[in-house]
Amino acid sequence: MELWINPSCSKCRGAKAELDAAGISYTERRYLDDPPSAAELAEVLDRMGLDPWHIARDAETRAAGIDLPQDPAHRDDWIAAMVAAPQTIQRPIITATDGTTVVARDAATLDDLVARELS
């Protein structure tokens, strides 16, 4: 399991605490210090069935000056912009051992992921 986090994010700290409490091992990736490549971000998006603007943090995206159309023709531009400004990527992103990838910002999503991992 891999967990993309920003250590100053309360949702990230909560996800780590829940995984730790469940005894689930994971690799922690501080994605602001170790940003994903464009290929990695594209792969994560594909596993989630999402486009990059679906996991963009609105305020950070505006602050980074990302003002691109939200359409398939600009998908690669979005990915490149988000890789260049990783603070724009929503968090925490968790990839389970079965390849399931989610943005685990709410308790239900995190609970489902933990249950799947423990089964």
pLDDT, tens digit (0-9, with 9 covering 90-100), for 73-91: 999 999 999 999 999 999 9
Phi, psi of 101 (to 5 degrees): -125, 135
Question: How far, in Å, CA of 27 to CA of 57, rounded?
Answer: 23
Superfamily of domain 2-118: Glutaredoxin (3.40.30.10)
Helix (H, G, I), strand (E, B) or coil at 30: strand
Please state the pTM of the whole predicted model. Answer: 0.92
Question: How far, in Å, CA of 19 to CA of 16, rounded?
Answer: 5
pLDDT recorded at residue 119: 87
Instruction: Tell me the average pLDDT across 37-65.
Output: 96
pLDDT at 64 over 90: yes
Phi, psi of 93 (to 5 degrees): -110, 125
Which residues on adjacent β-strands are paired with residue 89?
Answer: 56
Q: How confident is the model at residue 60 (pLDDT cuts 50, 70, 90)?
A: very high
Give the C-alpha distances (Å, rounded to integers) separating 56 from 20, 51, 81, 87, 118.
Answer: 27, 9, 10, 9, 29
Question: How far, in Å, CA of 80 to CA of 78, rounded?
Answer: 5
Q: Which of 79, 86, 102 is nearest to 31 (CA)?
A: 86
Asked if residues 49 and 37 have their Cβ atoms less than 8 Å apart, the reply is no
